[in-house]
Chain A
Amino acid sequence: MGSSTIEGQPGTAAEPAGDQPREVERSGRTRRLVSLAVLLVGAILFLFPFYYMVVGALQQSPDPTLAGAFPNPANLTLDNFAAINGRVNLLRTLLNSGIFTGGVLLATMVIGLLAGYALAQLEFRGKGLIFNVLLLGLIVPFMLLMIPLYVMIVRWYGLADTYLGMILPFAVSPTAVFIFRQFFRQIPKDLFDSARIDGASEFNVLTRIAVPLAKPAILTAVLVTFIGPWNEFLWPFLVTKDAAKMPLAVALANFITTIASSVANPFGAIFAGATVLALPVVVLFVIFQKRFTSSDLGAGIKG
């Protein structure tokens, strides 16, 4: 608002001459005020459920009236986290989510970076074919693959209740390959060629030049890929029946549908679990928000 007062000062002078700029100026200020009001309403609508989740997670007894949306100091407790932890082993399920997500990230980074680098910087037979294959991977919806993947991974290979079974269908995302390809395309080929002329092997060009250069792209791809498996429900739900192997999202969903009624304050316990599930992504996103938005957007539009 500081800038508007500076611009607002000299408006009182020469009426006819200053007419047009003043009108533009006034409409600029109104526009900013309207924008701010619109954005504030939007922020409340977007953020209220998160606020409500945290407040609900900290309440001793549930209060579904409007008063319940404001924390009552006399009603605050951490019991709900203990309650959900008594039914769903939070540490274990968080670890499972971590292994699932970590496995997906590792495979995506290694395979995706190699493929993205090769597609952007190297000339080899079959390159065009592999690129078209990549595009096909981006347009075919996952639902078509759900049933056959379930038959293959769970029934044929007996990978139910294993981390490998959870990881496999997500192990490489075409989006990540795309991010790496786009990144390496911006880098002049001469950079790699000069290393080759100096006698570096292709493997050295990759490990000494391409990988260190790709650090920003790796961070971007990690951030974009991380959300997928961490938040995923359907696939790990199909693969895990053993509570000791369930990621937190699956264990929490199970708690909601079957066992929530067995605790004193199911509302609070569910919100406590939801807070634990949502927190890591929210923190990561807030810290890295600049990279997240622009890159995720790019991947979304180009895909």
Chain B
Amino acid sequence: MAALAPDAGVKPRRRLLGKHPIGLLFAGPYLIYWLLLFAYPLGFAVYMSFRDYFFTAPGAQVDRPFVGLENYIRLIGDDDVHRAALNVVIFIVINVPLTVALGLILATALNTAIPGRTFFRVGFYLPYVSASVAVVAVWLYLFNGSGLVSNLLGSLSPDPPFLINSAWAMPIIALFATWKQLGFYVLVYLAALQNIPGELYEAASVDGAGTIRKFWSVTVPGVRPATTLVVILATIVGANFFTEPYLLTGGGGPNGASISPVLLMYRQGIEQGNPGYAAAIGVTLAIIVMGLSLLNRFLLDEE
């Protein structure tokens, strides 16, 4: 009964901080981390994008002049920005249809009672969990001028070879990323397929629907949340390429044909010392990516 007495005494504190004030202490480290390494840099990115920001020795107090929208105006006319944006579009155009089609086919196949399902599941997922640097190294030697793919294709292989051919560099990166992530989406589609109630298929059969009709009327609508995820993540992945153009196509080459937004930010912000401009690219991209995600979610949910 002694427990009741102190309890009664803390009522005002309880009203102020809630039933378990210690929760603040437990969640506190995360909140502090979030403020210091998320919220602050987020605000700093926006601040920097309106300044002519440059690097100085640590501790030096210098004025970084406010330049208004100058960084933003500059990126509108920057050919590298245009190319990076186009490359995101190329990636989406190659990645989304391939991922949806192959993801659905492999998930459907995996959803039947066949031997060795665990082996297939693990095998498909392996590229997704492996380090980009390691698997990019393999693709580098599969697709370079004297690589296995060029050898197999013989005279059919493009000239100049894939990775230094401006028409092929970006599509190869898109194929690489599609290959690397497909296993993840296969499992997303598999989970979505298993969530479709069997009664829907039975009802469709009773109504006389054939296999193809059932696929379009039951399966496709049933896996729509997974497809939404593919579309949203494709935008983000396309903007975030770094390892792939840096290693696979020798730094976004040839002649910037496979440059990505993040690689461009690295070049401008860190190599060439224009972090203000790089931050402006980052802010613009983040707004576009988040806007598209919201729009995708909205449109796909509306249907």
> A residues engaging B (CB < 8 A)?
1, 3, 31-32, 34-36, 38-39, 42-43, 45-47, 49-50, 52-53, 56, 64-66, 68-69, 110-112, 114-115, 117-119, 122-127, 130, 133-134, 136-137, 139-152, 155-156, 158, 168-169, 171-172, 177, 197, 199, 202-203, 206, 227, 230-231, 233-234, 238, 249, 252-253, 256-257, 267, 270-271, 273-275, 277-278, 281-282, 285-286, 289, 292-293, 296-297, 300-301
Interface centre among B34, B105, B226, B269 (most CB of A within 10 A): B34
The yes or no answer to B37 lying at the interface (CB within 8 A) is yes
Q: Closest residue to A144 on the B side, CB-wise?
A: B286
Classify the interface of chain B: helix, strand, loop or mixed. Answer: helix
List 28 A–B pairs whose Cβ atoms lie within 8 Å, in order of A's numbering.
A32-B114, A38-B106, A39-B109, A42-B102, A49-B127, A49-B138, A64-B148, A114-B26, A114-B30, A118-B23, A124-B18, A125-B24, A141-B236, A141-B286, A143-B240, A144-B42, A147-B282, A148-B48, A148-B279, A151-B48, A231-B131, A274-B137, A277-B133, A282-B129, A285-B125, A286-B122, A293-B187, A296-B184
Distance in Å: Cβ of A114 to nearest Cβ of chain B: 4
Q: Closest residue to B191 on the A side, CB-wise?
A: A297
The yes or no answer to B299 lying at the interface (CB within 8 A) is no
Q: Which of B30, B127, B247 contacts A46 (CB 8 A)?
A: B127
Q: A52-B148, A148-B41 are in contact. List 13 more A-B contacts (CB 8 A).
A: A36-B114, A42-B123, A46-B183, A114-B26, A118-B20, A126-B27, A147-B48, A147-B279, A151-B275, A199-B3, A231-B130, A233-B242, A285-B125
Q: Closest residue to B242 on the A side, CB-wise?
A: A234
The yes or no answer to B155 lying at the interface (CB within 8 A) is no
When distances are taken between beta carbons in the complex, the residues of chain A under 8 Å from B286 are 140-141, 143-144
Q: Which range holds the interface residue count of chain B? A: 35 or more
Classify the interface of chain A: helix, strand, loop or mixed. Answer: helix
The yes or no answer to B295 lying at the interface (CB within 8 A) is no
